[in-house]
Structure 1
Amino acid sequence: MSLDRPVAPDPYDLLPALPRFDLTSTDVTAGQPLGPAQVYAEGNTSPQLSWSGAPEGTRSFVVTCFDPDAPTPSGFWHWVLVDVPAEVTSLAAGAGAAGTALPGGAFHVRNDFGTADFGGAAPPEGDQVHRYYFVVHAVGEESLGVTPDVSPAVVSFNLAFKALGRAILVGTYQH
């Protein structure tokens, strides 16, 4: 059963353009289906991520995973990790698990599953292919200036004014 709806636009095309830098993963390949480890009902594990070439002046990073294809007007936030120190340029697989030691003063913000961790792909069965935007946002301040109890939308709002660049890697998944 398909929900028969148009494909959502690239969410980052709707924001002011920022310089891009490189994001790679041993677990996610651009444009390819996510593996079982990144699926909610299977491994539910955040992927390994590495980034390089962040803009000069970067003082911290925010890491997110967003599905614009969820059957909601607002998409679905799977992961929001805030205040990753600027000297960190990679995260191991599983870094998004609750209770995992995070670098510096980094912390998770509640995702749309309602938990402060990574939540894997979980589109409705039979729905269209969903895109999962893993994004590392370079921030020009050591702290984004939010607390762990804010929503992903508040994090995004702050990024609109404080981000210096973005590194984007998009995987897909269909149940």
Structure 2
Amino acid sequence: MVTKKNLEEQAKQAADELEQKVSEVKDKVLDTAADVKEKVQDVKSQAKEQLEESKEQIKQNISELESEAQKANSSFQDQLTHLKDDFITRFNEIKEKFTFSQDDLIELKEVVKIEFASIVDEIAKLSKEVKEDVSQLSAKHKDHVTETLQKTKASAVEAWNKVKESDEKKDTEKEKTGA
């Protein structure tokens, strides 16, 4: 027979069981929240590490490009110095050949025109080479930066997906244990 006392005991027992289940769910939620926080911290630290690695790679690439630019500049300066020395040598040779009469001066004028035309051509070629070198350096730098950024992005997305998958697994487990 159902008595008031039995009902009170059953109600108390049901309340205790409900309180126990609420406590268990609360503990699971706190554990899951702690796990998620830990994973987020892991992802943040991985992203920071990858960002630092990317920065280091970019710095290294910049150093390499600066070194190449210095070498190209040095080569350009050497070629310009050689061109200048060559011009002075030729000018001195020409000067020694002429006695500087009116006819010699006219002939000298023509020779100088030819020499200057030759020098202008050489400078144009040299300028073209320098432009090509600069273009190549710029392209290399752009490629290095693009590659580094793509690697960083891929790593960050991969880390994010890992956290997302882990969260989805935990949600699925919660649904199974809660059902």
Question: Would you tell me which structure has more helix in proportion to its own residues?
Answer: 2
TM-score (norm 1): 0.16
Decide which structure has greater strand share.
Answer: 1
Q: Structure with the greater relative contact order (CA < 8 A, sep ≥ 6): 1 or 2? A: 2
TM-score (norm 2): 0.16
Structure label with greater radius of gyration? 2
